Amino acid sequence: MILFVNACVRGGHSRTLRLADVLLQQLNKPFTELALSDIAFQPVDYAYIQTRDMLLSEGAYMHPMFELARQFAAADTIVIAAPFWDLSFPAMLKQYFEQVNVAGITFKYTSEGYPVGLCKAKKLYYVTTAGGMFFPEEYGFGYIRALAENFYGIKDCTMFKAIGLDIDGADEEQILLECEKKICESI
């Protein structure tokens, strides 16, 4: 099963979502879409952490609090669509990973304290767009790749990006078409 994590907020007007749709068509397998804008994430505050720690200490992995983590861990392939905002991605994607990063479900620690992945997925795709050309990867895709590789055991992470879309004189459609072509050639 492909898990499509949709962190796009502009719906049908999202350039990132357009590229993700091309990728999903190329993968040509059933997928479950998780629209993060439809989720009211609970704040990860002290009370939340206390509840989570208590449930984990009891081995209550089937508790509804861990539903997103279980879904993520069970997916065969992960596709994330997130526009490049403020040198990163929309905050709801960070909130999502605060729910997914659960010891005992998506990863475990070795006796030396290093994370070992428990996720089924072997492949993660990250699709993004940016208005300008300043695009340091370490704050957006780099963060997701670090989690995937070092916590979840997903070693094959690929990013598709279309950048420079909002620069005066840029041919937005051509830039998007070139990215779509890269997606089609890569899958």
Q: Say if CB 6 and CB 17 are below 8 A apart.
A: yes
The whole-angstrom separation of Cα 178 and Cα 169 is: 17
Higher pLDDT, 11 or 91: 91
Q: Say if CB 160 and CB 127 are below 8 A apart.
A: yes
- Report percent pLDDT > 70 for the chain: 100
Q: Say if CB 163 and CB 172 are below 8 A apart.
A: no
In the chain, how many domains are there? 1
- Structure confidence at residue 10 (pLDDT): 85
Residue 159 pLDDT > 80? yes
Residue 91 — left, alpha, or beta (φ > 0 → left; ψ -120 to 50 → alpha)? alpha
Q: Say if CB 159 and CB 81 are below 8 A apart.
A: no
- Structure confidence at residue 41 (pLDDT): 96
Helix intervals (H) in the chain: 15-27, 46-57, 67-74, 91-100, 141-147, 172-186
- Structure confidence at residue 128 (pLDDT): 98
Query: Per residue in 99-116, pLDDT tens?
Result: 999 999 999 999 999 999
CATH number for the domain spanning 76: value is: 3.40.50.360
Helix or strand holding residue 157 (H, E): strand 156-162
pTM of the model: 0.97
91 alpha carbon, distance to own chain's centre: 12
- Structure confidence at residue 12 (pLDDT): 75
Q: Say if CB 3 and CB 31 are below 8 A apart.
A: yes
Instruction: For residue 96, give its domain range.
Output: 2-186
